[in-house]
A and B are shown apart, each in its own frame.
Chain A
């Protein structure tokens, strides 16, 4: 129970500003300001509206773009470039639904198309203090803007379409406090992997995480998005970072951002979006950033992670019997021997992309470590998939695309791509892939594929070496 005059957390504040009230069955309604839509989790929701003859509650609160299924080659051909007919039907269905319901869409040929979680912030569609949902668990990304952003299932997508509300009861508050400076070559990706390693994949289930401390304040918005993106990998449906000058500077001047008097009014409110000094958190974790080395996952859950200077653990070293068995399964799937140095793991594929790490700073970090070098001969394929058409254009203008191509990487069009391999970009059976994505689950990137989650700099440098390398000494 909150006591009188008890301070509020950032999450408490956003929740309070969107609490509609209680339904007759005792469940809460939470108002949603923005719903992002893509082709995979929306068709059944649109169909539900049609069957029940229900309109969208608020057309202007929806924004769509195809991302999961779209091929990253032959983009100029548009829909004709999609050779998988089932995928094509899904993308066409999104086009039709957006047209029929009047939803704004950045379609496959629009330069603003891209991964929803890259597009929203880039366009200023994502703003501080908002509530945001999307039928995708990495919606937590938008929490970097102090927006309460959550992944939802398709029934919830339909519910928000029809009522502008989510049926939800409040989560608990979790403070992840990070102090100190990250070493050169250590990025937000390494930080979040290290946090997940400490919390475990269910450590924050039932909570909203707020990332706090000077290390977070010193991260760019792109770094904060990487951090919040993977909150779900620790079990938290949402992650948050308070508003500061970095946030305001990023948001100003974007296509959907307010201007003039409206901006002034918004800014005054946004500056209040931080936890009060005496706010109550139900759980806390303190992290020393200086102690974090570049991270590499060795197993089939994001919590199975260690430093690049470490070794593959021995399942027998886990005290807990369930963890022991789970690690054993993972090593069998990954075909790794306990005690193997991480830097001795040979790689077959490289994937630089995804809603976690496909923004311009990620591409700069990756390009920065490979300039003038070429792919190791054992790398069958190295993909760079920008997060949006606009990121792609910017990277080309900055000369990053040329650095990748000269090094032997493939420069592709925007989409989710090999993060989940719904489109033709896959990791083959038994292959090891250094990936900047967010999930190393069995078969995630392709049937029998073996994923290692890393930062963009680690992925790029490892592509040159052919095995994992420590970018700190690169």
Chain B
């Protein structure tokens, strides 16, 4: 996983609540067996007028020039400014892969859906929760073009004029993000702990182990 420390970039505003993962990456792209190849289809139904499919290139598409991500002012944006309950719906991690591949490293919102929030931390995309009023302020600034810095070690979002907002993040998740460590490798360092638990669990609920169907 890509580690995250501090990131500075242009913010693009997506002024909608309850943006679901079906919007972030529509179903037809989930047929891929790879982790890559989703960036071109991020927010597909909003970025393009036509219905896309796997393998189609940008040149073949009808671009929706009014959608924020397509506006000239927001080209190269790497911070997504969003509203409440971002990433709700389907558990598809492809949503996080699509955002990262497009070039987004941070999503700022007043709240996130649980599964999406967790998926971010598996991939090095930083979801930052800010207050409703702070997000409103950032939306206002983003309309004029906003470069901001997200400083994870100090838990600060710093706007160019020196304005900054603190944010909360669980210590364990912060640690994971800063180290960029392979989650599975870390858990496997606790192999003995897991095995000890498993043996105890097998004694307590033996019907959950070595299950074979009976007819």
- Given A130-B208, A421-B27, A443-B45, the answer on whether A167 and B183 have CB atoms closer than 8 Å is yes
* A237 at the B interface (CB under 8 A): yes
* Cβ contacts under 8 Å, B23 to chain A: 441-443
* Cβ contacts under 8 Å, A26 to chain B: 171-172, 175
* Cβ contacts under 8 Å, A154 to chain B: 35, 93-94
* B83 at the A interface (CB under 8 A): yes
* A329 at the B interface (CB under 8 A): yes
* Cβ contacts under 8 Å, B197 to chain A: 20-21, 31
Tell me the residues in window 336-355 of chain A with beta carbons closer than 8 Å to chain B beta carbons: none
* Cβ contacts under 8 Å, A323 to chain B: 17
* A317 at the B interface (CB under 8 A): no
Neighbour of B88 across the interface among A21, A27, A163, A202, CB < 8 A:
A202
- Given A41-B93, A84-B31, A256-B211, the answer on whether A31 and B194 have CB atoms closer than 8 Å is yes
How many angstroms between the C-alpha atoms of A43 and B16 in the bound complex?
Answer: 32
Q: Tell me the smallest distance from the CB of B158 to a CB of chain A, in Å.
A: 26
* B3 at the A interface (CB under 8 A): no
* A422 at the B interface (CB under 8 A): yes
* Cβ contacts under 8 Å, A205 to chain B: 85, 111, 113-114
Cβ contact within 8 Å between B122 and A135: no
Neighbour of A136 across the interface among B28, B91, B184, B201, CB < 8 A:
B91
Cβ contact within 8 Å between B184 and A21: no
* A1 at the B interface (CB under 8 A): no
How many angstroms between the C-alpha atoms of A347 and B193 in the bound complex?
Answer: 56
Tell me the residues in window 130-164 of chain A with beta carbons closer than 8 Å to chain B beta carbons: 130, 135-137, 151-156, 158-159, 162-164
Cβ contact within 8 Å between A31 and B201: yes
How many angstroms between the C-alpha atoms of A153 and B115 in the bound complex?
Answer: 7
* A288 at the B interface (CB under 8 A): no
- Pairs of residues from A and B, 8 with the lowest C-beta to C-beta distance, nearest first: A155-B122, A153-B93, A43-B33, A258-B207, A153-B119, A255-B213, A26-B172, A27-B172
User: Could you name 10 residue pairs across A and B whose Cβ atoms are closer than 8 Å?
Assistant: A17-B205, A47-B35, A136-B91, A159-B183, A159-B187, A162-B184, A164-B194, A262-B207, A439-B89, A442-B22
Chain A contacts to B: CB under 8 angstroms: 17-18, 20-21, 23-27, 29, 31, 33-34, 40-41, 43-44, 47-48, 52, 54, 57, 60, 68-69, 84, 86-87, 89-90, 93, 123, 125, 127, 129-130, 135-137, 151-156, 158-159, 162-165, 167-169, 201-202, 205-206, 232, 235, 237, 255-256, 258-259, 262-263, 265-266, 269, 301, 322-323, 326, 329, 420-422, 439, 441-444, 447-448
